Structure formats: C-alpha cells, structure tokens
Amino acid sequence: MIQIVVAGLGAIFGSMARFSLLELAPKVFGKASSWMVMVINLSAALLIGFAYGMQLPVMQNTFWATGILGGYSTFSTPIVALANGLQNPGERVNIIGQTLLAFVGGVPVLLLGAWLGAHF
C-alpha cells in the first residue's frame, strides 16, 4: 500500500511539471510548441532508462520512475493528436511522423538512458 502512495505522490509532481511545460511552451516556442509533448515523452524515456540503469532501491524507483516520470510522460496525448490530426489532410504527415517518433524513438532513448544510468 505504501508503494502506491509513493507512486501517487511522485505522479503529482510529474504531472504538474508536464502541465507547466505545456502551458509555457506556446508562449516561449510559438508554433514549435506542438513538439513539446514529443520532448516531454522522449525526455521521460531517457530519464526512466537512467533511473533503471542506476538500479535504484524499490521505493526510490517507485517515486522517481513510476511516480514522477510516469506522471510527467503522456503517451495518450499523441494518440488523441493522431486521431484528430488524421481528420485534417494538412496535418497528416506531421502528426504521423510525431507519432512514429514518439513510439519508435522512445526505445533507443530509453536504452541510452539505461546505459548512462549504469555508468553514472
């Protein structure tokens, strides 16, 4: 039960960080802010891999990887964007590319993070 609470507490901070970045992105990056979800998800994959590579104790891993980074990442957003973007012919190529990058690109980034974490 304590592990669930630890993960939930971490998720609070992770989702607050994601929300803040998504709110700030249009003001800072303009049209390029549409890539912020990609940046968030790939950075989450890198950091989750890093945490895995560091072989943190269970409760620390639960807080950081499952909690904070799980709350920080959002793989449901690209799916919703894909569904919406496919209806707009002008956005199809871009949204398909972003979706592929999110799911295919996440694996090598995760592995890089694991390698970095193991050598930290």
pLDDT in tens, 85-120: 888 888 889 888 888 888 888 899 999 999 999 998
The mean-pLDDT minimum among 4-13, 32-41, 77-86 falls in 77-86
Burial of 39 (0-12, 13-18, 19+ CB in 10 A): middle
Q: What is residue 83's predicted lDDT score, i.e. its pLDDT?
A: 81
Distance separating alpha carbons of residues 104 and 23, to the nearest angstrom: 26
pLDDT of residue 45: 93
Looking at residue 9, its pLDDT comes to: 97
**Residue among 11, 24, 6 nearest 74 (CA):** 11
pTM of the entire predicted model: 0.83
Domain with 33, as residue range(s), is: 2-118
The closest of 77, 84, 79, 51 to 66, measured between CA atoms, is 51
Q: How many structural domains does the chain have? A: 1
